[in-house]
Amino acid sequence: MGTTRREFLSRSGKMAGALGVASIIPGRSFSIMNSVSPNEKVVIGVIGCKGMGWSNLENFLQYDHVECAALCDVDANVLTDRAADLEAMTGSKARLYEDYREMLDETDIDAVIVGTPDHWHCLQAVHAMEAGKDVYLEKPLAKDTAECEIIEEAARRYNRVVQVGQWQRSDQHWYDAIEFLQSGALGNIRVTKAWAYQGWMNSIPVQPDQAVPDGVNYDMWLGPATQRPFNPNRFHFNFRWYWDYAGGLMTDWGVHLIDIILWGMNVDAPRSVMSTGGKYGYPDDAMQTPDTQQAIYEFDDFSMIWEHAAGIDGGPYGRDHGVAFIGNNGTLVIDRGGWEVLSENGPDSAIIRDVTTTESDGRGLYNHVGNFLECMKSREQPTCDAAVGSNIAIVCNLGNIAYRTGQIVEWDHNKRRITNNEQANDYLRTAYRDPWTLPRV
């Protein structure tokens, strides 16, 4: 690196007082859509309507100039229900599709929300960009490193706006916390932590394979993933606990929280990663990904610890999720609710007296959508563009590779290669099932 992280933080601290947060953080306005006329209509289509695809659409529709013209889902039961929900909300009927490619042929659609399982993100995002659509893409950006690189390249080639659904990037209190971090008040940051303790996650009982439910195009749901018999445990929400489709809590929550550490510390990727864990909470259930995992990432002059646990809420600092920056003078702790500073010298120390912490206003997702809509108009890069989403998805995937191989992973980020275990590079690219092929850009 031309500038070390410590030099960056030192310079940032000196600049902050004179120039303000916009000088050290990619500042965004959160009153974002005031300049857009209601007459400048934006037409949206949704691919994958059950979970976050629908939650995202609900936030899009809070903007008066947005309308939803099309819904696509491989489960006709979900599609029918969501079509009725949309009509009740807006009074308008959407066109309905089972095959997203047919929806992308519609010339009146300006942008698509991709809310499908992770293994579909690359194909659908790239095909949407090829069709001239901007893309609001649920996190993580993609399932593996090769797919991340392809989405990045597609966004550049087709000049499309891509916003990844890591909406902390549009919630003001995260910016406020990072401004304080980069002021240098905490001194040298030696350890960082991110965690997700998810007490709501229950054991998933083992179930036998079953007949495909009526109305479900299971072959299309599988898409490029390995052919397997239908099992309800792998379908809809629980897909994220199976390696064929996703990366467990590491990629589900890790991309949100580890992203904050990379952003705050001004780094892209670690030099090495080691990971341990397993199915300690629910050893006999149907989940493949670990319900308990720790990963240690080595950077040039600090370390990062990731940890998650299913079925437990008692995470570090009394928070079930969060990020901590541990410095010589104190610790900054932040989660989706707000942030605080814990001083090494007690509650009366200067760094606590002199900082005003802030709480979330609960509008991060709404702001994130608004930022995307504004960038559709301006053609500027949004707060969490394809490059940001790619970087964090790759870093989280490295944690899973270290876990799955049981070895330390040494990483060359410029070459996007694991340097100490050639076989481990196989995890960087997933084989696609015929007739699907990895997109070429």
Asked whether residue 366 is domain-assigned, the answer is: no
My answer on whether 162 and 201 are in the same domain is: no
My answer on whether 110 and 239 are in the same domain is: no
Asked whether residue 214 is domain-assigned, the answer is: yes
My answer on whether 124 and 224 are in the same domain is: no
> What pLDDT score does 436 carry?
98
Asked whether residue 3 is domain-assigned, the answer is: no
Task: Give me the domain span that covers residue 331.
Answer: 170-360+389-428
Asked whether residue 433 is domain-assigned, the answer is: no
My answer on whether 255 and 210 are in the same domain is: yes
> pTM of the entire structure?
0.91
164 phi and psi angles, rounded to 5 deg:
-90, 140
My answer on whether 96 and 138 are in the same domain is: yes
The answer to which of 23-37, 93-107, 412-426 has the lowest mean pLDDT is 23-37
Q: Are 189 and 162 in contact (CB under 8 A)?
A: no
- Enclosing H/E stretch for 39: none
My answer on whether 338 and 312 are in the same domain is: yes
**Among residues 384, 400, 420, which one ends one of the domains?**
384
The answer, yes or no, to whether residue 36 has pLDDT greater than 70, is no
My answer on whether 62 and 174 are in the same domain is: no
Sheet-wide strand order for 292-298: 339-343, 330-334, 321-327, 189-198, 303-310, 292-298, 272-278, 409-412, 417-418
The predicted-structure confidence for 321-377, as pLDDT tens digits, reads as follows 999 999 999 999 999 999 999 988 777 677 777 788 889 999 999 999 999 999 999
Please tell me the distance from the alpha carbon of residue 132 to that of residue 150, in angstroms, as a whole number.
16
> What pLDDT score does 126 carry?
98
The predicted-structure confidence for 423-437, as pLDDT tens digits, reads as follows 999 999 999 999 999
What mean pLDDT value characterizes the chain? 91
Asked whether residue 4 is domain-assigned, the answer is: no
Q: Are 328 and 6 in contact (CB under 8 A)?
A: no
My answer on whether 216 and 319 are in the same domain is: yes
In three-state secondary structure terms, 287 is: coil
Please state the rounded mean pLDDT for residues 288-293: 98
The predicted-structure confidence for 123-141, as pLDDT tens digits, reads as follows 999 999 999 999 999 999 9
> What pLDDT score does 7 carry?
47
The predicted-structure confidence for 173-208, as pLDDT tens digits, reads as follows 999 999 999 999 999 999 999 999 999 999 999 999
CATH number, position 273: 3.30.360.10
**Among residues 384, 417, 436, which one ends one of the domains?**
384
**Among residues 349, 369, 384, which one ends one of the domains?**
384
CATH number, position 119: 3.40.50.720
The predicted-structure confidence for 139-156, as pLDDT tens digits, reads as follows 999 999 999 999 999 999
Residue 264's closest CA among 196, 327, 349, 329? Answer: 327
My answer on whether 59 and 182 are in the same domain is: no
Please tell me the distance from the alpha carbon of residue 64 to that of residue 69, in angstroms, as a whole number.
14
- Say which residue, 87 or 24, is predicted with more confidence: 87
* Counted domains in the chain: 2
Q: What sign has the CA pseudo-torsion 306, 48, 337, 65?
A: positive
Asked whether residue 122 is domain-assigned, the answer is: yes
322 phi and psi angles, rounded to 5 deg:
160, -175
> What pLDDT score does 39 carry?
56
The answer to which of 20-24, 142-146, 177-181, 274-278 has the lowest mean pLDDT is 20-24
Asked whether residue 220 is domain-assigned, the answer is: yes
Please tell me the distance from the alpha carbon of residue 66 to that of residue 36, in angstroms, as a whole number.
11
Burial class (CB in 10 A: 0-12, 13-18, 19+), 84: exposed
> What pLDDT score does 346 carry?
73
Local confidence band at 85 (pLDDT 50, 70, 90 cut-offs): very high
The answer, yes or no, to whether residue 28 has pLDDT greater than 60, is no
Neighbour count for residue 66 (Cβ, 10 Å): 23
My answer on whether 113 and 201 are in the same domain is: no
Asked whether residue 15 is domain-assigned, the answer is: no
Please tell me the distance from the alpha carbon of residue 120 to that of residue 56, in angstroms, as a whole number.
17
My answer on whether 117 and 184 are in the same domain is: no
Percent of the chain with pLDDT over 90: 87
My answer on whether 174 and 148 are in the same domain is: no
